[in-house]
Amino acid sequence: EDYDKLSGLIDQVPDNNSLLENIASKCASVGMCHEASRALVKSNKVKEAVDCCVALNQWDRAVEIAHEHNMSSVDELLAKYAAHLLDKGKVLDAIELYRKANHYIDAAKLMFKLAAESSEIPSHALRTKKLYVLGAMLVEQYNTHMMSDRSALDSLIHTNSVSIEDSRLIDNAWRGAEGYHFLLLAQRQLYEGFTDAALRTAHALVDYEDVIPVETIYAVIALTATIARSFGTCSNAFIKLENVENEEARAEYEQLAVEIFTRYPPRDSRAQKIECTNCEGSITDYGNTCSICDTKYPRCIVTGTPLTSVHFWQCDTCKHRAQETDIVSFSTCPLCHTLIA
C-alpha cells in the first residue's frame, strides 16, 4: 500500500468523515503515529488520538494533543510520560517536558535531584553549582508564571494548592547554588593567596551542611585555617572531621591532627572584627552575625564578607548582593551568571 498517498488523503477528506478513522487505523498499524493521530483529531476523536500516541509510545505527541485540546487528563499524561522517560534514564528530557508544560516545580525537583547526586563527587563542585542554579531558575520561572497567570494566582490564593514540600523548595530555591558558590569562591581565594578572605568565606559553608557534604565543608575550613595559621579554627574543624563515618578517613584525620597540634597550639593568631551597624557590637571569628544584637548580615557574593553597608548592588534575578565597588568588574552575576544590565 502507498501510505504516503494515504496520509495525503487526511487533508482532503471532510471533518468527521468515517473514512478518517479507517485511515487512522491503517496508519497506526504501521507506526505512523503523527498521521494516525491527525486523522483521529480531524474526526473529533481526541481521546482516541491520545490513546493511539500512548500505544505507539509517542508520549510527546500525546501530551501535545492533550494540551491543544485542554484535556483534563493532561497532568496524568505528563506524569506517565515523565515516568517513562525516567525509567529510560532520560532525566534531562523529563525536565524539559515539565518545563515546556509550565510544570516548573516538578522540573526543579528533578534538577535538584541531579545536583544532589552530583554533590557526592567532590571534583564535580562546579557542575553541582550549575545544576543548582538551573533548578533555582526553574523556580523563578514558576514565580513569574504565577504572577502573570491571573487564574493560576487566584487558584493558588484561594485553594492553597502548594504543598508544604513545594513551599519549602520555593523558599529555599537558591540555597544549593549559594552553598556551592561560596565553596568555589573559598577555594579560588585560597589558591590566589587571599587566605584571610578564603577563611571567612569557608566559614560561610557551615550554614550549608544540608547541601554540601559535611566532610567537604570542614576539610576546606581545616585546610584554609592551617594556611591562615588560625589553629583554633583548624582544631574545631578537625573535631568534626574525626567524627566522619568512614573509618579509614577518620583514622587519617586523627593522625593529621596529632601532627599539626603537637607543633602548633590550637588557638587563632588573630581575630577579624567588623563593626555592627545595628548596635555597638561587632562581628567576630569570620562570622556574619553580631555577637550582641544577633543581626545576621548577608554575604557579598564577590568577596564572601558580610554586607554591613546600606548601599549595595543586587542581582535582578537571584536577588543576591555584592559591594558596589566589588561588582564593577563583572559583566554577569557571580552567582547566577545573569547579564548585568
pLDDT digits (tens, 9 = 90+) for 292-315: 888 888 999 999 988 888 889 999
Q: How far is CA 58 from the centre of its chain?
A: 29
Kindly report the number of other CB atoms within 10 A of residue 305's CB atom.
21
Taking only the tens place, the pLDDT of each residue in 165-184 is 888 999 999 999 999 999 99
Q: Which amino acid is at 221?
A: I
Give the Cα separation of 145 and 22 in Å (integer): 42
pLDDT score of 161: 62
19-66 residue pLDDT tens: 888 888 888 888 888 888 888 888 888 888 888 888 887 877 887 888
How much is the pLDDT for 189? 96
Residue of 174 and 12 predicted with greater confidence: 174
pLDDT value of position 91:
94
Residues of the chain with pLDDT > 90: what percent? 51
Q: What is the pTM of this model?
A: 0.81
Higher per-residue pLDDT: 67 or 170: 170
User: Of all helices (H) and strands (E), which one includes residue 284?
Assistant: strand 282-284
CA 207 to chain centre: 17
Determine the Cα–Cα distance for residues 251 and 12; give it in Å rounded to an integer: 79
Which set of grid coordinates corresponds to residue 168? 519549602
Number of C-beta neighbours around residue 101 at 10 A: 20
What is the dihedral angle through the alpha carbons of 138, 139, 143, 144, rounded to the nearest 10 degrees?
A: -20
Q: Flag whether pLDDT at 72 surpasses 80.
A: no
